[in-house]
A = this chain, B = another copy of it.
Amino acid sequence: MREKAPGGSRIGLVMESIRRRIAGRSLAHEEKLPSIRATAKTMGLSPSTVAEAYERLGAEGLIRSRPGSGFYVVGSLPLALREVAPRIDRAVDPFWVSRQSLDGGAETIRPGCGWLPTEWMPDAAIRRAVRSLAKAEGALLADYGPSRGSLRLRNLLARQFADEGLRIGADEILLASSGTQAIDLICRLLLQPGDTVLLDDPCYFNFRALMRAHRVDIVGVPRTKDGPNLAAFETALKVHRPRIYVTNSAIHNPTGSLLSPQVAHRVLKLAAHHDLTIVEDDIFSDFEPEPSPRLAVLDGLERTVRIGSVSKTLSASVRCGYIAAKAGWIEELVDLQVATNFGGPSPMAAEIVAHVLSDGSYRRHVAALRTRLAKRRREATTLLASLNIEPWIEPVGGFYLWSRLPDGINAADMARAALADNVVLAPGNVFSAGQTATEWMRFNVAQMADPRLPDLLRKALTSATTNDNGSNAER
């Protein structure tokens, strides 16, 4: 983490401006900086202020002077994924929610996070699986395991898919360390820097972060209650010729919406016509009471890749996801996964997952989660209504309520205010490529039981209302 600009605010201003240009790559590695005189003129500051700022940036190792020639960018990290700032002042960018949620202390309340509370997970079944692991063959505990990952788990997944109408073999499945890593591998296979990727707007914020890591351009398609807006989708395909479209069909993150059969069919037709590959992240599908239309199922993996993981209903600690794709692609993905990670998830992890999935109690656990969440969604809706916050839809499952704040409230301001009280929120624009969700917030109903929360939310709302010049989402 970089420190705040030292010294006077004018010097700091110059430093910050140069840092941003380097981070945003408007100043590249080895590129010459504007002269001290030129910068002074542009910024309306004295040359000695700019000279001091350059000097300090030099001391930080960000730029270097070449005698008789000027200042040059050095050691620039080509991949600046975010603006750097101390924790609480951190820019509200796609990393904001993840980092605050992951690293917050035990006392943190996390209506913004993307997972269930620990005590909702199938603790007894996981412990049974770990105890059984302690008695596994030595090879499973010590060796790398097969390059596609545990055959036992892949067979279990294939059976699960068959229940949903997707009949594929275990060879069309590759285990990955997480759903995210699964998508990352697909991106490595299909994308080149400068390509365009289609995302829902809003979409899971980490899709945006991941695409930044791949240096690709993002085009957002507005999400309707039935899936992507088809007119916008078609226009985007025609105008931007994206290589892939990454989406959740079943219980979309953050909105909780589903895909209607008509939209699903139309999306696939358009994809075929424009040679688009669809990456369907099915991570929330277990929360559905009834399976809704899935692109991968309709399409039979023709131009769809199915992604998933067990992080939301079984364990996030175990780190195990999967990719289902046509066999030829899987073969390529195996090589890529060997090159970049020398394999996939831990064979121990895969064994734990397979054990829990085969455990008779697991289906009951998931059914109980659905019932419990339905109750929590109702309770949270009531709480939010008392704050004049209104969910967009009433989702059929899952733990998110994508909600509109009272008029004039900037979600990023509210999130910053809440963070001061150890409440992590998920402000709308971290989900929005087009920054169109300034007044929206994603709430995780499973993380809203703390009796202090209503007052803390009210306080954050008030604070955001009075903060009239602080709209700084993703500054």
The answer to whether A151 has its CB under 8 Å from any CB of chain B is yes
Within 8 A of B (CB), among A117-171: 118-119, 121, 123, 126-128, 130-148, 151-152, 154-156, 158-160, 162-163, 167-171
Given the known A-B contacts A156-B60, A340-B213, A347-B317, are A121 and B133 also in contact in the complex, defined by CB atoms under 8 Å? no
Taken residue by residue from 167 to 189, chain A's Cβ proximity to chain B (1 for < 8 Å, 0 otherwise) reads as: 11111000001111100100011
Point out the residues of chain B lying under 8 angstroms from A181, CB to CB. 340-342
Taken residue by residue from 333 to 369, chain A's Cβ proximity to chain B (1 for < 8 Å, 0 otherwise) reads as: 0111011111101111101101101111011000000
Point out the residues of chain B lying under 8 angstroms from A193, CB to CB. 192-193
The reply to whether A188 and B79 contact each other, CB–CB distance below 8 Å, is yes
Instruction: Among B189, B206, B342, B346, point to the contact of A77 (Cβ < 8 A).
Output: B189
Copy tally for this chain in the complex stands at: 2
Nearest chain B CB to A207's CB is how many angstroms away? 9
Point out the residues of chain B lying under 8 angstroms from A206, CB to CB. 338-339, 342
- For this complex, into which size category does the number of interface residues on chain A fall? 35 or more
Give the interface of A toward B (CB within 8 A): 1-4, 6-7, 52, 55-56, 58-62, 64, 74-75, 77-84, 94-95, 98-99, 102-103, 115, 118-119, 121, 123, 126-128, 130-148, 151-152, 154-156, 158-160, 162-163, 167-171, 177-181, 184, 188-193, 206, 209-210, 212-213, 215, 275, 311, 315-319, 327-329, 331-332, 334-336, 338-343, 345-349, 351-352, 354-355, 357-360, 362-363
Given contacts A77-B155, A78-B169, 6 further A-B contacts (CB under 8 A): A1-B152, A98-B147, A115-B143, A118-B139, A119-B138, A178-B343
